[in-house]
Amino acid sequence: MAANWKMFKTPAETKTFFASFLPLVKDTTGCEVAICAPFVDLPEAVSAAAGSAVMIGGQNLYWAKEGAFTGEISGPMLKALGCTWVIVGHSERRQYFGETDETVLRRTKAAMEAGLKVIVCVGELLSEREAGETEAVLRKQFEGGIAGLTAAEFAGIVIAYEPVWAIGTGKTATPEMAAEAHRVIRGLAAERFGGAEVRILYGGSVKPDNVKALMAQEEIDGALVGGASLDAASFAQIVNFAS
């Protein structure tokens, strides 16, 4: 279960979150938990999570290791801070910051080289779903952004299927719709990487009250949670969905 805090929380709010969240998940088993926080919150998050099973991640990175790239953050910097994960290719990055399948691939490779695990996001727009293009969009994003990885790199990623129309809108894909898209992605992975196993998260308005039905689908391995991850009790309920 991964939290994507987007551009929310200060370091002080991060500290408060962990003080409430950690006791609620200290007995959780069978579920990896990662919190992807804004860059400025990462030191606080890493130190708050130390000694717990909760892992910390960034929400983006640049592909160069260092250099004259004002405003950017590199993989080695995230790693040095104590991050385990990084999100790459979130639809908000694609939509507002010009991210393309090609830059998704470059960022993913750079993250792996820095020793980070990567959550690579894919997903269709509402207009694409309505035009019956969901599968074609997933294929294009997979072929442009993930198929260029080596088999060893592919083993280090988790894919997040996030239909753009379901993000922050309160409209969740039905468990069946999500599972169907996950099957498409798994098929693409099998075509390119043979029988390689890959975990696929669903993202888009996941909440405590719908997580169980989503997780009941064999194809869905976890969730990438935005809005509902900002509240400690609500994200803990999602993490503890099985109990």
List contacts with ligand PGA (CB under 6 A).
4, 162, 167-168, 203-206, 224-228
Extract the runs of DSSP E, i.e. beta strands, from 55-169: 55-58, 85-88, 117-122, 157-161
**CB nearer to ligand PGA: pick between 64 and 125:** 125
- Which amino acid does the sequence have at 225? V
Provide, rounded to whole angstroms, the least separation between the CB of residue 170 and ligand PGA: 8
Residue 158: strand pairing partners: 119, 199
Q: Which residues are marked as active site?
A: 90, 162
Q: Is 57 left (phi over 0), alpha (psi -120 to 50) or beta?
A: beta
* Vertex 220 angle, CA 153 and 99, to 5°: 50
Residue 12: Cβ within 10 Å count: 10
Q: What are phi and psi of 62, to 5 degrees?
A: -100, 155
Provide, rounded to whole angstroms, the least separation between the CB of residue 97 and ligand PGA: 14
